[in-house]
Amino acid sequence: MPNKAAFREIYRAKRKSLSLKDLELASNDILKHVLAQNLVAEGPLMLFLDSPAHGELPMQNWFECFANHQICVPKVIDDKGRMEAVAWKMDMPVKANKWGILEPETNVFVSPKNIITIIVPLLCFDQRGHRVGYGKGYYDRFLARCSNSIKTIGISAFDAVENIEDITAQDQILDVVVTPKKVYLL
């Protein structure tokens, strides 16, 4: 069974093979599942600004759909794995960080303890709710600072892998992962 590094390489290549149209369709199908199952609770919601360069699922429809929520988005603070949630407004200026990921230019932070639901990007995940991200641990460190009652929803264009071998104590388990075909309640 591949480890995180191998899965990271495999799923980056798989995502790059998808067209923008395929990614848009997958994102819309995932959003339909999320809405049909009422997975997002009332209250502060953390979404992410998608990075087309990384083949991430487009998020524009998500921002529009949940416009009635207090939305925040992630912002990397330093190279030591620190990420914060920034209060989001649709007309807010953004710029790409050193990895090409768009982030707000402001530093109006939202306490992780106040977030009710977080939509978590990932490259792949297993049937136990472990995820493979980009390998820096930013989301794992952030999720560890959130309330124990936070609902974590991973979104993926691909179905679960059987098992990710090299899970550590720092790795945070997701509550739900939604793909275009299935909702995994973990």
Reported in sequence order, the residue ranges of 69-182 that DSSP labels E, i.e. its strands, are 71-76, 83-87, 94-96, 102-104, 109-110, 117-121, 124-125, 131-132, 151-155, 176-178
Beta strand pairing call for 45-46 and 117-121: parallel
Partners of 151 in the β-ladder: 117
CA angle 90, 91, 95 (to 5 degrees): 100
The mean per-residue pLDDT over the stretch 66-87 comes to: 91
With residue 143 as reference, give the H or E element that holds it: helix 138-144
pLDDT digits (tens, 9 = 90+) for 102-133: 889 888 899 999 999 999 999 999 999 999 99
Question: In this structure, are residues 116 and 148 in contact, taking their beta carbons and an 8 Å threshold?
Answer: no
Can you give the length of the chain in residues? 186
The mean per-residue pLDDT over the stretch 38-48 comes to: 96
Closest CA to 129 of 147, 112, 154, 149: 154
Q: What is the pTM of this model?
A: 0.93
Residue with tokens 């998808």: 18
pLDDT tier at 87 (50, 70, 90 boundaries)? Answer: very high
Residue 52, pLDDT above cutoff 90: no
- Domains for the chain: give ranges and CATH numbers: 4-131+142-185 (3.40.50.10420)
